[in-house]
A and B are shown apart, each in its own frame.
Chain A
Amino acid sequence: NAGVMQNPRHLVRRRGQEARLRCSPMKGHSHVYWYRQLPEEGLKFMVYLQKENIIDESGMPKERFSAEFPKEGPSILRIQQVVRGDSAAYFCASSPGPGSQETQYFGPGTRLLVL
């Protein structure tokens, strides 16, 4: 049973470009969460999605960031017009049921570097 998959593992972008981060949850998991880890900081919640629905995006910056989890395919975290401050590790987690009741399982992360 494959774990949570994230790609790419490393992503380099220049300021102003777009970054697309993908997450495939564990088989049987329909709840996906994105977290961001800035250097020397703990992971911070960004957004919680179920298939075709955004449940909570309170941790996501209001501009330039968006997330989706379509009926088919992986969840996508999209960052438009990246800035240097977006450089961080982005982790996706999944759970079979609501995260309040279930342990969340994390992927290996995507490390974004903005030049």
Chain B
Amino acid sequence: GIQVEQSPPDLILQEGANSTLRCNFSDSVNNLQWFHQNPWGQLINLFYIPSGTKQNGRLSATTVATERYSLLYISSSQTTDSGVYFCAVLTQGGSEKLVFGKGTKLTVNP
């Protein structure tokens, strides 16, 4: 099945720093979503981005579908950005389902 690899697995930042999280996937996909899992375990959908670039406040994401990767940018990080960021891709053909990467655990220190 499709493989989804996220890097880095862990990231520690000082408040105010910028960061880039990467997601590589092994096959063509119909959709890609970025999630933030908050301390209560909820999966918060950040972006639905099968291709191109989107921005939402301090966060932006870019997916280059032809090269099978996506990037999540966090600028001017805040302590509330801490948590695990998951990339998930929607498989093509047959029964479509989201396949998740292992996540990047982000810690933003004050």
* Same complex origin of A and B: no
